[in-house]
Amino acid sequence: VSLQDKVLSSSEVLNFRGSGFRSLDDIKELEGGREGLNAFLAVAEPEDLEPCGQGPLEGVMVALKDNICTKRLPTTCGSRILEGYRSPYEATVVQRLRQAGALIAGKTNLDEFGMGSSTENSAFGPTLNPVDRSLVPGGSSGGSAAAVAAGYVRMALGSDTGGSVRQPAAFCGVVGIKPTYGRISRYGLIAFASSLDQIGTIGATVLEASLLLEVVSGHDTRDSTSAEKPVPRYRDAAVQGIEGMVVGIPTEYFPEQLDPPVRALLDEACERLVAAGAEVRPVSLPHTEFAIPCYYVLATAEASSNLARYDGVRFGARLPAEGLDRMYELTRGNFGAEVKRRIMLGTYVLSSGYYDAYYGTAQRTRASIAHDFTTAFNEVDVLFTPTSPTPAFPLGERVLDPVAMYLSDVFTVTANLAGIPGLSVPIGTVGGLPLGGQLLGPWWGESHIIAAAGALEASYGEDT
């Protein structure tokens, strides 16, 4: 790619490291064989490929996480409750993809209703990590990350409530972007926690993830939280360089418990940022230690409310029973164990005797976490942290230990609590497994984190 004028055409972006595109038949054959990853819950048929517009993604296959509504393909959220459900409308992001010329390759696997960090909580079986099939791909957008990492598609959409785009991108060795809350319309995204949910993009490269972000971003009158702000050419930010950029290193995100090989890769990434022209300085985010409990109180409270609609009357698979109470019981019994756990926790923290002690306290803590970021971004342009404390872990290792699973989100949930953009980019391998570095920016600071990620990616060349 010629970077002289730092303005890229979409064709240059898509040919940056070779096309790597596969046909629908290729995807079906790969997924249906012994080496399949269970990345897709549904692969499109040729007749599902509606005539598309002539835009920057003309003819490009894009995969969708299966909590994004489509008319032609089922939308299950990885749950028996919605098995076989077909939406009567399409999400705004799907409409924008079609207008840009993209072809929807299919719907990807996820933790049920987005609740999980490993894609093991899907009612339709776990997705395998294409780097090592004995490992999880991360979650909850593990199917999307695996599909990109395996070369089934070059781009995919996921959703990120507490790291669900960035962590699987890190585990699979690809790029994941969670934009500012309100940057992408959530119309047609099935809700988990409405104040935290955001659709995000996954790409094989920073350029591809950025181009996809550019295509699906923008105001939507059907989403009251959608912001009326112009959409920059994010693809250009990926190659604009970072000369003079100030990068903050939050001390709270580099605890002594980090494994030495992980810390070594993070230190090397900081050195590469400096070599690319950035200044690196330490900063403090003092309320970080409260992020995980704050997040899991708020997210479960919102999930308890959002998932109340799946009762067999309004939504969800209706099971025959005598009386409404028995029907509710049978229908909601179809939720998986992790979803039930979070509904129960959310109902508890919202109960009258505990509301202020838990939910009210968590809301105040959230404001403090957001203020920490505001203060930090008065001094620096972006922040650099680990995406996850470790590379991908073995299938089954943390299924019976939910606390250990929740702690894998320790570096990602703060971006959702504060509403700021975050991005994971590969920074090398530990024991042959990909590790991701996370870049965080201020509200509407996507271009800054994309520029820093582009500089890092360029410094590694093909090595990551």
Active site residues: 65, 140, 164
* Half-sphere exposure (Cβ direction) of 284: Cα atoms closer than 13 Å: 2
Length of the chain: 464
345, two tokens: 């926790």
Residue 356 CA to residue 457 CA, distance in Å, equals 45
Residues 226, 262: contact at Cβ < 8 Å? no
CB 109 within 8 A of CB 143: yes
Q: How far apart are CA 140 and CA 242, in angstroms?
A: 31
Closest CA to 311 of 291, 292, 330: 330
Q: What is the DSSP letter of 143?
A: H
Burial of 223: CB neighbours in 10 Å, binned 0-12, 13-18, 19+:
middle
Q: Which residues of 99-120 are buried (b: 16+ CB within 10 A; e: fewer)?
A: ebbbbbbbbbbbbbbbbbbbbb
CB atoms within 10 A of CB 25: 10
Q: How much of the chain is helix, strand and coil, in % rounded to 5?
A: 40, 15, 45
Write the single-letter amino acid at 247.
Answer: V
| Helices and strands (H and E) in the chain: how many | 16, 11
Residue type, 259: D
d(CA 265, CA 432): 13
CB-based contact 426:172 (threshold 8 Å): no
Q: Which tokens belong to 273?
A: 């940022």
Question: What is the residue whose two structure tokens read 């064709």?
Answer: 11
SS3 label, residue 160: strand
Pairing outcome for strands 279-283 and 246-250: parallel
**3-class state of residue 243 by DSSP:** coil
